[in-house]
Amino acid sequence: MVMVTKNNQKNKIYQVLIVILVFLIPLFIRNIFFHHVLIMVVLYATLGLAWNLMGGYLGYVSFGHATFFGIGAYTSAILFRNFGVNPWLGIIIGAAIAVTVASLISFPVFGFTLRGHYFAIGTLALGEISRILAENFNYIGGARGILIPLKASSFSIIQFESKLPFFYIFFTFLLLTLLIMNAIVNSKMGYYLQAIREDENVAEALGVNTTKYKHFAFYISAFIVAIVGSFYAQYQLYIDPNMVFGMMISVQMALIAILGGCNTLIGPIIGAMIFIPLSEYIRSFIGGEGRGINLIVLGIVVLIIILFQPQGVAQLIKSFINKEGRNNE
Amino acid sequence: MNNALLEVHNVTKRFGGLTANKDISFNISKGQITGLIGPNGAGKTTLFNLITGTAIEGYSRLPDEGHVIFKGNNITGLKPNSICKQGMVRTFQNSRCLDSMTALGNVMIGALVRTSLINDAKKKAVKYLETVGLKDKRNIISSNFTVADKKKLEIARALATEPELLLLDEPMSGLTPLELKEEVNLIKDINQKGITIFIIEHVMEALMPIADYIIVLDSGEKIASGTPKEVVKNPKVIKAYMGVDYAIIS
């Protein structure tokens, strides 16, 4: 037991050191594109974590989470542009609307116990429906999208001249999400979600209110994804339906979590650290001429991981740490 | 006073043209071990599903007719999780473990019905794993367990929900004679701690000595009930199990 607490303390120190290091990195490497990549990594890591609660822990693979991302992005953007509502408030309203939409969907979906492949197909349809709706909804700019009006640089409206403040806000939110997920995973709910994933009938027989916990997981996931959507809109200052409701958003969230390592907290973060820089740097390196080549490279990396490390990259690191631990004993 | 913990009244379940359970009624008395026997396809597991509200693939989980009373309350149509909270829990026929979880994790899921604290659940889970003799294997992923250990794990998991009535679906099938003996002793021990047991079993020689009361199903109908001695002498039961010829000889 003494060993364990000692290791825990050591781990905590490492964790704090890593966080401090990440805070300092952008101050030393002052390259705007690098900062952009860091921001995208942080945003996608948060998305992956939120998706992982559903797709990883609960085992309900969703390909429609872009719906909530888009709702978050559009709500705060429209509220700010058309009504002058503070984006921080807009973020909360967007997340609330996303949860409302999630509940409208989850009642029929979980009520008729849509599972496995059917849940994946159902959510895929959901994502596409919301994209098409947004494209044909003129009030929110239709397929042309909307520009968020540029105001003075200020924390209160989440607009900055430099990329650094964005990074720090998004990174703080990532840490917050990580803390929330850690609390959930190590609580009764975390155990229950895993039991539902393994065998819903057994979980139900052992007193797990499976319907309730599925709803909870869906709402929490939608809430966080919507907040990231709002952040993304504030950061880009321009959004269109394909950018925020597009299938690529849903798929990337899922890929990052699955290849990084489902059912782990570190997995989605590692996934984002591998995929986003790869994708962004290849895209910038090849430029407009080679559109899609970054996706080909990504596809190859996905294949390699699926073939050689199907449980995700996080598993590699885990087994390495375990080996280290055993050597130390 | 009414000593029945569970009352099943005129339960009928049809799967399309097939009647899996036809007008079945019986009581289960507190503190006893009641056995449910019958040939394959007699409707034993369906009856378990109806009593515990378990989902049935492709059909409604509700009985078409009849109702189930547990501790004086009508529980027909309740979801398994609320039935479990009231003190009735079941195991499954082919040992369904929560595969990617450890033995400890499996049992903790059961224990978490009565507590929200992870540490409490962990302590309880270790206690119940000790009861079934799996304490040393608690950190092993349950999919790696042998059939016998999986069955024990399922019982520990069910016990962790602190039931008054434990429904066991074929807890002895597929065990070696030695494992069988252990399992029978375990079931007897659990019963002696005051938990009423309702058990589906094919292994007659193991069930007969420990059961207080036996119910026999055949083709969805209850054809006999009584003490083990009465039941084995019943010509209907012999016919159902051994065939017509054997029934005439005896």
Taking CB atoms and an 8 Å cutoff, what residues of chain A touch B99? 198-199
Share of chain B above pLDDT 90, in %: 73
Residue B229 main-chain phi, psi, to 5 deg: -65, -45
For residue A182, tell me if it sits in a domain: yes
| A202, A311, A322: best to mutate for the B interface, most B CBs within 10 A | A202
For residue A256, tell me if it sits in a domain: yes
Instruction: Give the per-residue pLDDT at A25.
Output: 87
Instruction: Give the per-residue pLDDT at A318.
Output: 77
Coil vs helix vs strand at B57: coil
φ/ψ bin of B71: left (φ > 0), alpha (ψ from -120 to 50), beta (otherwise): left
Query: How does pLDDT run across A31-40, given as a tens digit for each residue?
Result: 889 999 999 9
| Candidates B79, B109, B121; nearest CB to A195 | B109
DSSP A282-308: HHHHH-GGGTTHHHHHHHHHHHHHHHH
In degrees to the nearest 10, what's the CA dihedral of B122, B124, B127, B128? -100
Query: How does pLDDT run across A147-160, given as a tens digit for each residue?
Result: 998 888 888 888 88
| Candidates A187, A200, A208; nearest CB to B109 | A208
Does the pLDDT value for residue A1 go beyond 50? no
Count how many domains chain A has: 1
Q: What's the CATH code of the domain at A69? A: 1.10.3470
Inter-residue contact B136 to B90 (CB < 8 Å): no
Sign of CA dihedral B197, B200, B201, B204: positive
Contact across the interface for A206 and B101, Cβ inside 8 Å: no
DSSP H stretches of helix in A186-265: 188-198, 200-205, 210-236, 241-245, 247-261
Q: What is the CA radius of gyration of chain B?
A: 18
**Chain A nearest C-alpha distance from B19 (Å):** 23
For residue A14, tell me if it sits in a domain: no
Contact across the interface for A207 and B81, Cβ inside 8 Å: yes
**CATH of range B4-87+164-249; options 2.60.40.290, 3.40.50.300, 3.10.129.10, 3.30.1360.170:** 3.40.50.300
User: Cα–Cα distances in Å, from A18 out to A13, A88, A130, A175, B114?
Assistant: 9, 28, 38, 12, 39
Contact across the interface for A205 and B101, Cβ inside 8 Å: no
Residue A129, domain extent: 31-328
- The pTM is what? 0.90
Helix or strand (DSSP H, E) at B6? strand B4-15
For residue A11, tell me if it sits in a domain: no
Coil vs helix vs strand at A225: helix
The span from the CA of A233 to the CA of A238, in Å, is 6
Instruction: Give the per-residue pLDDT at A316.
Output: 82
Contact across the interface for B109 and A209, Cβ inside 8 Å: no
Residue type, A61: V
Taking CB atoms and an 8 Å cutoff, what residues of chain B touch A182? none
For residue A123, tell me if it sits in a domain: yes
The span from the CA of A327 to the CA of B184, in Å, is 43
Instruction: Give the per-residue pLDDT at A81.
Output: 92
Inter-residue contact B100 to B138 (CB < 8 Å): no
Residue type, A211: T
The span from the CA of A141 to the CA of A119, in Å, is 31
Half-sphere exposure of A211 (CA within 13 A, CB side): 14
Does the pLDDT value for residue B248 go beyond 60? no
Residue A256 main-chain phi, psi, to 5 deg: -60, -45
